[in-house]
Structure 1
Amino acid sequence: MLETVKKQWKQILVILMLYTAWNIAVFFFLVRLQGLETTMKQFGVGTQLYVNFIHTIIKGTIVYYILIYHLIIPFIRNRNWKRFILQCTLLFVALTAYEYVWNFTISKTDPASNNYISPKVFLISAAVLDCFIILISYFVATLITSNEMRKHKEELEKEKLRAELAAIKYQINPHFLFNSLSFIYTKTLRSSPEAAHAVHLLSEIMSYALDDWGELGTVPLALEVEHMKKVIEMNQIRFSHNLKIKYYEDVQESDASIPVLAFVTLVENAFKHGDLNDEKNQVSIELIATKSKICFLVSNKKKTGPKEPSKGIGLNNVQQRLQLMYGIKHSFTIKEDENYYLNEIIINL
């Protein structure tokens, strides 16, 4: 309840500030256009000027607030034409009646004055002004609704990504896993140092993958590169250091943030689907990071024979997190033909 009240007052305050700024701008525009004396005659002199100004601001703020947040935005959401037309009609009938009373009774203008307008002209002017107010309010309400929908969509995408990451992480019990790896490492350290090293690598790899890296799961580039090298080393140990991998790295900026496992996913994808034994067509991993751009490319020749099934969840997850984090400042390219596969991530910092 309290949050709703705060939100409503914030909305009213924003409209009040914008409408006040608009009226001040109009006043000075008229002063510049026709002079101060003529403008003051139209708006009033002395106390009357302040009364008219405050009255206009309060009235306009209330009208725009009701129109935008209680009539037009609900209409955009449910498209109830009958209710919308009825509500707008009642609002503007009440507004016109109020303006009529204010102009011809409360703030009565002398018929001999240059500022006097007849009731007929007043009603025509009020009708034109009402149409103008509706158009402005509808435009503002559309912007507000579009922004809310965009934020809602982004939040849904974030929730989806968090759910996917959680599903991947908790397919296994981390506590049991690390205890088991620690036990195996201790048992194999003396008899097989290489096996113990592999267990240690696996433990660090799993710890990195299962750790909590915040809402979007971002890490410094240096940490992702360090982990990626451990994944490469782990796979080399698995295949007796016979994997044909060409690795190039030129990192001048290592503090930039990237989605956790973004680069690792591309490397693991190459290990899973690539031909790792072709000397002439080695798996190529290239990383170039400057202060203005990060380029990461992984290309591989496809392995022949039966292929492991792939749903592409990992690549899609990386692509969505890059989009949420960098938007148009990044590109994620996937190229594929009968024999070769290429993934490239470019991030403009």
Structure 2
Amino acid sequence: MGQLRKHWKQILTILVIYTVWCVIAFLSLVALQGLQTTLSQLGTGSKLYINFVHSVIKDTLVYYILIYHLVKPMVEKGGWKKPLLKCILLFAVLTGYEYLYTFHIIGAEPRAGSNLTVRTFIISAICLDIAMLLISIFSATLINANEMQKRKEGLEKQKLKAELAAIKYQINPHFLFNSLSFIYTKTVLTSPEAAKAVYLLSEIMSYALDEWDDLGTVPLSLEAEQVKRVIEMNQIRFSHQLNICYVEHIEDNIARVPILSLVTLVENAFKHGDMNDAKNQMTIELQATRSRIYFRVSNKKKKGPKEPSKGIGLSNVQQRLELMYGIKHVFNVKEDENFYMNEITINL
């Protein structure tokens, strides 16, 4: 629903801008060559209105496709060959449509005067197509720069928010770590598993509280280590009775992700999932190459009363991924009465 609203907003923005431009262009022609000459070129009466509305709607859709579906992805990701071929195909279809509309639907003379020929029409169409492409590249570059600036500002705000939250909850972390160390020392001989759980907890907390880069990202391999610690700690908690399948394949250790983004989804699954059903085990899958990161967590839902949850963790992960990767990522949430799944795909 949000994406649909976004697309309509983009179309309406182009519609308003192009309508204003058409009105200014019409008034400029009237001022330069007079009303009668302009009307003789564009048509009179109902034909003038039909031509105007047709031009506005058609070019709005063309600019929308050019800017947001062809040129903008090309500017963001690089690689000009395929998008340029798509632009040429679009212009070929557009020129064919314009030819039929001009010469077979309304007739050439009412629209462009008696001097309009097929050759003149084609030359004019090519010039207009080039102009539209240049305008689209300029517009897409501006839009992309503006989005990047907003994303950067959003990340900075998100980081500040996270830091403030950390300050709120980090009441003397040194005391906490010293206490965990004391508990570990006292239990390591009498209860090795309890000591191991304390150790895992201290490692996860140390990871969460550590200083990382300015954008709050960490190496993917390091985030994966914390995911495995969360799994191990929960297995200890439930006497190794949980049915969990963890699959990991990381080809590129350079890739980075927002800190605790994967851990949060796994913790969410432990909180709300049923891991006692051997036929429907929790599945955690992490695949990473130089060009793509794929992460999936799926689980059977617990029956009975639900644990209270405000969904803040999940919302936080979605916001950080959107700010950091924009259209280069997809975050899917699928659920029905019995099962729940989170799926992240990031194109690097």
Pairwise CA distance, 1:245: 0.5
Change (3 A) 1:339 1:175: same
**Per-residue deviation, residues 180-234 of structure 1 (Å, max 9, x unmatched):** 1011011111212221111111110111111122332101111011111011100
Change (3 A) 1:291 1:194: same
Equivalent residue, structure 2, for 1:271? 270
Q: Is the 8 A contact 1:331 1:345 kept in 2?
A: yes
CA RMSD in angstroms, aligned pairs only: 2.5
Change (3 A) 1:338 1:346: same
2:220 maps to a residue whose letter is L
Change (3 A) 1:207 1:252: same
Change (3 A) 1:146 1:329: closer
Question: Which stretches in structure 1 are left out of the alignment for 5+ residues?
Answer: 1-139
2:215 maps to a residue whose letter is L
Change (3 A) 1:160 1:250: closer
**Distance in 1 between the 2:283 and 2:192 partners?**
29
**Per-residue deviation, residues 72-98 of structure 1 (Å, max 9, x unmatched):** xxxxxxxxxxxxxxxxxxxxxxxxxxx
1:204-215 → structure 2 map (5 Å cutoff): 204-215=203-214
Equivalent residue, structure 1, for 2:157? 159
Change (3 A) 1:145 1:344: closer
Pairwise CA distance, 1:165: 5.2
**Distance in 1 between the 2:232 and 2:213 partners?**
27
Change (3 A) 1:242 1:145: closer
2:298 maps to a residue whose letter is S
**Distance in 1 between the 2:151 and 2:329 partners?**
20
Post-superposition, which runs of at least 4 consecutive aligned residues in structure 1 deviate over 6 A?
143-146
**Distance in 1 between the 2:189 and 2:241 partners?**
25
- The yes-or-no answer on 1:220 pairing with 2:219 is yes
In terms of mean alpha carbon deviation, does 275-284 or 168-177 score higher? Answer: 168-177
1:139-218 → structure 2 map (5 Å cutoff): 151=149, 154-156=152-154, 158-164=156-162, 166-168=164-166, 170-173=168-171, 174-218=173-217
Q: Is the 8 A contact 1:161 1:317 kept in 2?
A: no
1:159 maps to a residue whose letter is K
Equivalent residue, structure 1, for 2:346? 347
- TM-score under structure 2 length normalisation: 0.56
Matched pairs, number: 210
Change (3 A) 1:150 1:284: closer
1:184 maps to a residue whose letter is I
Change (3 A) 1:323 1:145: closer
Equivalent residue, structure 2, for 1:320? 319
Q: Is the 8 A contact 2:286 2:296 kept in 1?
A: yes
**Distance in 2 between the 1:288 and 1:225 partners?**
11
**Distance in 2 between the 1:284 and 1:221 partners?**
19
Change (3 A) 1:153 1:280: closer
Pairwise CA distance, 1:149: 8.5
Q: Is the 8 A contact 1:169 1:209 kept in 2?
A: no
Equivalent residue, structure 2, for 1:102? none
**Distance in 2 between the 1:169 and 1:254 partners?**
30
**Per-residue deviation, residues 317-337 of structure 1 (Å, max 9, x unmatched):** 111111222111111111111
Q: Is the 8 A contact 1:244 1:283 kept in 2?
A: yes
1:171 maps to a residue whose letter is Y
**Distance in 1 between the 2:328 and 2:144 partners?**
22
**Distance in 2 between the 1:177 and 1:342 partners?**
34
Equivalent residue, structure 2, for 1:283? 282
Pairwise CA distance, 1:161: 4.6
Partner secondary structure for residue 239 of structure 2: coil
**Distance in 2 between the 1:258 and 1:159 partners?**
18
2:223 maps to a residue whose letter is E
Q: Which has the larger radius of gyration?
A: 1
Pairwise CA distance, 1:295: 0.5
**Distance in 2 between the 1:276 and 1:165 partners?**
34
Equivalent residue, structure 2, for 1:230? 229
Equivalent residue, structure 1, for 2:256? 257
1:55-66 → structure 2 map (5 Å cutoff): none
1:114-125 → structure 2 map (5 Å cutoff): none
Q: Is the 8 A contact 1:249 1:287 kept in 2?
A: yes
**Distance in 2 between the 1:238 and 1:193 partners?**
13
Pairwise CA distance, 1:170: 3.5
Identical-residue share of aligned pairs (%): 63
Question: Which stretches in structure 2 are left out of the alignment for 5+ residues?
Answer: 1-137
Pairwise CA distance, 1:144: 7.8
Pairwise CA distance, 1:145: 11
Pairwise CA distance, 1:157: 5.2
**Distance in 2 between the 1:203 and 1:263 partners?**
18
